[in-house]
A and B are shown apart, each in its own frame.
Chain A
Amino acid sequence: MTTDERLTLIAAASGLFAPYTGPFDRRDLEELLTAELGDIHALHPAECEESKQPRHRVARAPQRILHVVSGNTPHAAFQSLLRGLLVGAPNHVKLPRCGLPELESALPLLPPALRETIAVSNELPEDWNSAPGVVIVFGNDETIDWFARHTPPPIRFIAHGHRLSIGLVMGDPDHAARLAARDVSLYDQQGCLSTHAVYVHPDAGCSLDAFAALLATEMEQFNADSPRGPLSDSEAGAITNLRETIRFHGASHPEETALWESAGGTDWTVIRERDPLLKPSILNRVVYVKPWPTGDTLPALGPALRHLACLAIHPFPGADGLAAYVSTGPSRICALGDTQFPPLTWHQDGIPPIASLVSWTDIG
């Protein structure tokens, strides 16, 4: 199948991917390939010859891509598979034991020529680490560590471990609260782009408590419009247990922490803390509100910063005003409210989405 044919088929199936990758058309796919490989025909030698232009290098798709996907959200699975289809590699998707219904129901609807390049299983294929190719793993630290130890060097190993995102409010707090509530609540914080904490800049024009109260109001409103999904006993217990622990702490030290919570259930929780130390949320619409440190940011935010996927700012300063924030290490900086909708070209975990999959043969 040529790259042209493949792009046509993938674009025709964009509706299956769009809920998890954002909408795209053929032009978007061409732009992605061009941005990553320099040329949409870089992957297909025949097309290279037809282009009649001198070639200095040719890209080769891997012999196989193994996608080990997690069960928290289907987004990563769709995004990873889309990239695998774009480069024209045979794809094997190893599903979590609990399955991934969204992906499993979408696959039969793909054009047959694409579908036949995809294998799916709940177990690792026996030859997973003996055939050359690429292994892409989404999972927790334990999973990542296991694959890292068992993937021999000829196989390219791409790991996407635990990630979290944060918001930063620089001003316009009312609007920021609405945008933050959306970033926190979408997908119930199950994705790597989910917002775990919202930081309030000293010049934001509002106190921490005032912003926490605004955010609580917006969390309630969002939940009224888009109720959170059901929770297991364990997930609900984690929330009620944390709430009581925070309540216990705040009762003695109200300056340290305070709690806003949905009435009559665990729908949403806002925790204000004076300490800027970044802490992962226990998920399912539990968010911290913290002060943006005035001094050295990196030490104040602490070791969890290494898991940072996205920093979302409001008002968004534009590219020229972002240099100070790049050092926090996110693979994406965007406007608050857009956190959950990265472009196709997003360098997830700082890794080129297409270029990381191919190998190059230089000519001449």
Chain B
Amino acid sequence: MPADAPSLPDEIRSFIEASNADFAALALRVFAYQFARNTPYRAYCKTLGHTPDTVRSWRAIPPVPTDAFKLDLPICSFPPEEATRIFLTSGTTTEIRGRHLLRDLDLYARSVRAGWTQAGLPGCGNAWFLAPPPGTTPESSLETMFAILASDDDSERWLIAPDGHFRLDPLREAASRAEPLLLFSTALNLLRLETAIPDGLTLPPGSWVFQTGGYKGLHRAVTPETVYHSINRCLRVPPEQVINEYGMTELCSQAYAVGAGTAHHLPPWMRVRAIDPHTGADSPRQASGYLVFHDLANLQSVSAIRTQDFGRVIDDGAFFLDGRDPGALPRGCSRGSDAFAPARS
């Protein structure tokens, strides 16, 4: 490589900002980068017989199961002692939680911001967060993402107090003005909001709601339709103004679907494939399988992640989410936010 050639991290930053690279070629270089630096990943790939010399396609890059992040192994492409952030998967105190080590938040923050903008999602100038304020749970990747998307440091925008109570007066005041707003939340907190304010709260026309996470932890049957219905009833925001985020602790990038029953779309620096849970082989297009993501923003850890979420892939950049494998252990941002279940509004 010429001395003045950009480094791989620089190339990925550039790709994220300007979508000016060939994903397939860059993905193979990221694999070689991680194979060289990520000791547990290299050992795993060698066990499988896959090395940078044998892998010819991004589809053949070995994915790491999310459960591997629960092992006492540093799945990172830098000396683990240099980690400045450790994102933890949700879980109770008795459960082993997955650990995603990051040396810094640079690529993560760039991916969050560019992913949001390039997806054509609404501006965050009048954003409100049904979440505790930044710093409450620094191990939460969702809290970090919210903080990155927040347009200012106004503490009033965080609608759950550190002790878990809803503090909705600022939202009521914002809703009384005509300016459309954007409300970020987990699905569970939206359902709890409906309970907390039975009469609802009409958001200004043109407002948006961002929701993410599953519904486990509730002692009632909840479907995606239930949540969209709840949002419409409680906040008067129709499904076509609702953004669903697919993200996870082990991924630095996110996928978004706008409206009910629509596909999730990935940013250009991320690809998806589905694998047959019986064999691990790629599933045919539109056939349900475990989703495997290849996220170049995961440069500091491992780019290929095998989930236990079922989905149907439309193309390399879009998929329909069928849901969490019912046999898998519960996880998800919503569940993590259980600790902040408000006791009163």
Q: Interface of A with B (CB < 8 Å)?
A: 231-238, 240-242, 244-245, 247-253, 265-266
Minimal Cβ-Cβ distance residue in B for A230: B278
Give Cα distance in the complex from A18 to B308, angstroms.
40
Q: How far is the CA of A238 from the CA of B43 in the complex (A)?
A: 23
Please give the distance in Å from B281's CB to the nearest CB on chain A: 10
> Out of A234, A253, A266, which one reaches B325, CB within 8 Å?
A234
Cross-chain contact A247 with B67 (CB below 8 angstroms): no
Chain B residue with Cβ nearest A142? B219
Q: List 16 A-B contacts (CB under 8 A).
A: A233-B288, A233-B289, A237-B325, A237-B328, A238-B325, A238-B328, A241-B67, A241-B308, A242-B67, A244-B68, A247-B44, A247-B47, A247-B48, A251-B44, A252-B40, A266-B278
Chain B residues in 8 Å Cβ range of A237: 277-278, 290, 308, 325, 327-328
Cα distance, A247 to B67, chains bound together (Å): 12
Within 8 Å by CB of B277, from A236, A245, A251, A253, lies A236
Residue from A231, A236, A242 with most neighbouring chain B CB atoms (10 Å): A236
Residues of A within 8 Å of B67, CB to CB, are 241-242, 245
Contact between B278 and A236, CB atoms less than 8 A apart: yes
* Complex: A242 Cα to B46 Cα, angstroms: 18
Query: Is B138 in contact with chain A by the CB < 8 A criterion?
Result: no
B71: Cβ under 8 A from any A Cβ: yes
Known: A233-B288, A249-B73, A252-B39. A244 touches B278 (CB 8 A): no
B310 at interface by CB-CB < 8 Å: yes
User: When A and B form their complex, which 8 residue pairs have the shortest distance between CB atoms, in order from nearest?
Assistant: A237-B277, A251-B43, A234-B327, A236-B278, A251-B47, A245-B67, A248-B68, A251-B44
Residues of the B chain whose Cβ atoms lie less than 8 Å from the Cβ of A231: 278
Which residues B6-54 have CB closer than 8 A to chain A? 39-40, 43-44, 46-48
* Residue numbers in B under 8 Å from A232 (CB-CB): 327
Chain A CB within 8 A of B135 CB: no
Q: Mark B288-307, 1 if CB is under 8 A from A, else 0.
A: 11100000000000000010
Q: Given A247-B47, A248-B40, verify A238-B327 contact (CB < 8 Å).
A: yes
Across-interface contacts of B48 in A (CB, < 8 A): 247
Q: When chains A and B are docked, how far (Å) is the Cα of A140 from the Cα of B141?
A: 33
Please name the residue on chain B nearest to A249 by beta carbon. B71
Q: Is B242 an interface residue (CB 8 A)?
A: no
| Cβ contact within 8 Å between A234 and B277 | yes
13 new A-B pairs (CB below 8 Å) besides A234-B325, A241-B67, A251-B43?
A234-B277, A234-B327, A237-B277, A237-B278, A238-B325, A240-B278, A242-B67, A244-B68, A245-B71, A248-B44, A249-B71, A251-B44, A252-B39
A251 touches B288 (CB 8 A): no
Which interface residue of B278, B289, B310, B325 has the most chain A CB atoms within 10 A? B278
Residues of A within 8 A of B43 (CB): 251-252
> Which residues of A lie under 8 Å from residue B93 when comparing CB positions?
none
Give Cα A244 to B280, complex, Å. 10
**Closest CB-CB distance, B131 to chain A, in whole Å?**
29
- Among residues of A, the one whose C-beta sits closest to the C-beta of B327 is A234
Q: How far is the CA of A233 from the CA of B276 in the complex (A)?
A: 8
A235 to chain B, nearest CB (A): 6
Which residues of chain B have C-beta atoms less than 8 A from A238's C-beta? 325, 327-328
* Smallest CB gap from B288: residue in A: A233
Q: Let me know if B310 and A248 touch, CB within 8 A.
A: no
Q: Is the CB of B278 within 8 A of A248?
A: no
Q: How far is the CA of A233 from the CA of B326 in the complex (A)?
A: 10
Q: A237-B327, A238-B327, A251-B46 are in contact. Are A244 and B308 (CB under 8 A)?
A: no
Alpha-carbon gap, A127 to B44, bound state (A): 57
Question: Which residues of chain B come closer than 8 Å to A250, judged between CB atoms?
Answer: 47
Q: Give chain B residues whose Cβ lies under 8 Å from the Cβ of A236.
A: 277-278
Instruction: State how many angstroms separate the Cβ of A119 from the closest Cβ of chain B.
Output: 28
Least CB distance from A107 to B in Å reads 30
Contacting pair B47 A241 (CB below 8 A): no
Is B84 among interface residues, defined by CB-CB distance under 8 A?
no
Residues of chain B within 8 A of A234, CB atoms compared: 277, 325-328
User: How far does the Cβ of A266 sit from chain B's closest Cβ, in whole Å?
Assistant: 6
CB B249 to nearest CB in A, in angstroms, measures 16
Does B57 sit at the interface, judged by CB under 8 A? no
Check A249 against B327 for contact (C-beta < 8 Å): no
Task: Please tell me if B279 contacts chain A, counting CB pairs below 8 Å.
Answer: yes
CB-CB contacts of B316-345 with A at 8 A, as 1s and 0s? 000000000111100000000000000000
Cross-chain contact B39 with A265 (CB below 8 angstroms): no
Docked complex Cα distance between A242 and B310 (Å): 16
Closest to A237 in B: B277
Judge if B261 is at the interface, Cβ distance under 8 Å. no
User: For the complex, what is the distance from the CA of A266 to the CA of B278, rounded to whole Å?
Assistant: 7
Task: Tell me the minimal C-beta distance from B301 to chain A in angstroms.
Answer: 13
CA distance A249 to B306 in the complex (A): 15
B89 CB → nearest A CB, Å: 14
Residues 69-89 of chain B, each 1 if its beta carbon lies under 8 Å from chain A, else 0: 001010000000000000000
Q: Is the CB of A252 within 8 A of B73?
A: yes
| Best-surrounded residue of A238, A242, A252, A265 (most CB of chain B within 10 A) | A252
Tell me, in angstroms, the Cα distance from A245 to B40 when the chains sit together. Answer: 12
In the bound assembly, the distance between CA atoms of A233 and B48 in angstroms comes to 23
CB distance from A288 to the nearest CB of B (A): 16
Q: How far apart are B97's CB and chain A's nearest CB, in angstroms? A: 15
A241 x B65 contact (CB < 8 A): yes
Shortest distance in angstroms between B219's beta carbon and chain A's nearest beta carbon? 9
> B64 in the interface, Cβ–Cβ < 8 Å?
yes
Task: For A241, list chain B residues within 8 Å (CB).
Answer: 65, 67, 277, 290, 306, 308, 328
Bound-state Cα–Cα, A240 to B327, Å: 13
Residues of B within 8 A of A244 (CB): 64-65, 68, 280, 306
**Mask of B260-273 contacts with A, CB within 8 angstroms, 1/0:** 00000000000000
Cα distance A247–B306 when bound, in Å? 14
Q: Is the CB of B47 within 8 A of A233?
A: no
A175 to B280, CA, bound (A): 34
Bound-state Cα–Cα, A231 to B253, Å = 33
CA distance in complex: A248, B304 (Å):
14
In the bound complex, what is the Cα–Cα distance between A249 and B40 (angstroms)?
A: 8
Would you call A248 and B64 a contact (CB within 8 A)? yes
Contacts of A247 in B (CB 8 A): 44, 47-48
Task: Tell me the bound Cα distance from A248 to B43 in angstroms.
Answer: 8
